[in-house]
Structure 1
Amino acid sequence: MKLYRLLTGQDDAAFCHRVTDALNKGWSLHGAPSLTYNIQTGQVIAGQAIVKEVEGKDYHPEMKLSEQ
């Protein structure tokens, strides 16, 4: 089964650590990162899709993808 997640957050060191943590847990980058600017807060928001293949599991909507 292939799992998909979209990580989003302020473009800062904490976001980079979240992506790095996911990569070290077996997730892979899927596509290029995206950036947008929130004019109200003055923050750059980043997004990165990640995917992971897992064996022996069936998908169900209650899955906590971050724990896979």
Structure 2
Amino acid sequence: MKIYRFLTEDDTSAFCHKVSDALAKGWELYGPPTYAFDAAHGVMRCGQAVTKEIDRPYSPDMKLGDQ
């Protein structure tokens, strides 16, 4: 079973750390990163999709970051 997450963060090193942490836990990059202006907060935001193969069925109750 493949699961999917979309990681977001302000355009700071925190975003790079969030993606690096996911990669260290076995997640794989899915597509290119995105970059957009968040007008509500006046900051640039980054996003990156990641996927991971797991050995159990998907459940909407699972916490994806703990997989």
Fold shared, TM-score > 0.5 on shorter chain: yes
Alpha-carbon distance, 1:62 to partner: 0.2
Report what 2:49 is aligned to.
49
- Which amino acid counterpart does residue 26 of structure 1 have in structure 2? G
Q: How many residues align?
A: 67
TM-score, structure 1 length as denominator? 0.91
Report what 1:65 is aligned to.
64
Deviation per CA, 1:5-56: give whole Å up to 9, x if none. 000110110111000000000000000000101234331101100000112x
* Structure 1 portions without partners, runs of 5+: none
Name the structure where strand makes up a greater proportion of residues: 2
Query: Percent identity of the aligned residues?
Result: 49
